[in-house]
Amino acid sequence: YRRKGPWLPDGLTLVVTHAVGFPKEASGTVRVNEIWAYENPNHGDSAIINAGKFGVLSAWEDKSRDVLHFLLHYLPVDPVSSADLPLHLPRLPDAVAEARRQRGFVGERTLVGLAHSAGASALIRAAIWEPKLFHSLIALEPIVVMNGKSTLPVYDSWITGALGRRAKWSSRTEAYNSYKASPSFSYWDPTVLETFIKYGIMEDDERGPDAVKLKGPVFLEASLFSERVFSEETYEQLAILNKDIE
């Protein structure tokens, strides 16, 4: 997203990372100039593009590296509307990346990281590695735990819950009603749930003209929850997170 009107001097640049099991479109807007939403390679449309290329495990560090790689090497320097952006952003000169690494986005934009759950953990680690880039962080329910706490039963429940998650429906209407009846999704705003259904599932032509399924395999969601070292390491590094980041 990039606003079509004039660039706001006090507007924000949001970098949004999602939780396990949610597509990138599950995020909304505030008073912003632009929103860039990262999607895990095995979620949403990214899962379709990368189908057949996944390993069994997924390193959470890769999410942090992906975000930083985009911010340093691909986030456009000049404000342009989303309609003018190419499908594939060109790589910026290394001098631009190094300047951002040293000075951040001073005079260019105010970058705020907004993330949920595993996405929040990845964004926190990204800010620890490259603190100059971030003005502030909004981390919702980050999976950041003390050493040894990742063996708690809740982790196993996340894995079994992902493996047992329903992944196929006879139609989008059935999928919507199924999620609406779920205790975990019933309290969602209807518009947000509709967005999830629109972007989180896809047609399943092998089962019929109206059949749909999740875009990302549920076993890959489960594999993400099995990676527990990253959250403990991030907790240990919180002490070195730059205090200037709000």
Q: Which of the listed ranges 101-105, 152-156, 184-188, 224-228 does the model predict with the highest average pLDDT?
A: 101-105
Query: Strands (DSSP E) along the chain, which ranges?
Result: 12-17, 32-38, 111-116, 136-140, 168-169, 201-203, 212-214
> Dihedral of the CA atoms 102, 104, 108, 110 (nearest 10)?
-170
pTM across the whole model: 0.82
- Classified as helix, coil or strand, 139 is strand
Whole-angstrom Cα distance, residue 78 to residue 51?
34
Return the closest-CA partner of residue 103 out of 148, 135, 147, 145: 135
User: Taking residues 214-234, what's their average pLDDT?
Assistant: 90
Whole-angstrom Cα distance, residue 121 to residue 32?
23
User: Burial letters for 141-174: b for 16+ Cβ neighbours within 10 Å, e otherwise?
Assistant: ebbbbeeeebeeeebeebbebbeeeebebeebee
| Residue 18 pLDDT grade (very low, low, confident, very high; cuts 50, 70, 90) | confident
Residue 95 has pLDDT above 60, yes or no: yes
Question: pLDDT tens digits, residue range 152-203?
Answer: 788 889 899 999 999 999 999 999 999 999 998 998 888 889 999 999 999 9
Region label for 117, one of left (φ > 0), alpha (ψ between -120 and 50) or beta (otherwise): left
User: Taking residues 82-87, what's their average pLDDT?
Assistant: 84
Question: pLDDT tens digits, residue range 109-157?
Answer: 999 999 999 999 999 999 999 999 999 999 989 999 888 776 678 888 9
Whole-angstrom Cα distance, residue 234 to residue 228?
11
User: Taking residues 1-13, what's their average pLDDT?
Assistant: 77
Q: Residue 20 has what pLDDT?
A: 72
Return the closest-CA partner of residue 20 out of 236, 217, 232: 217
Question: pLDDT tens digits, residue range 19-54?
Answer: 777 766 665 544 568 888 889 998 999 999 999 998
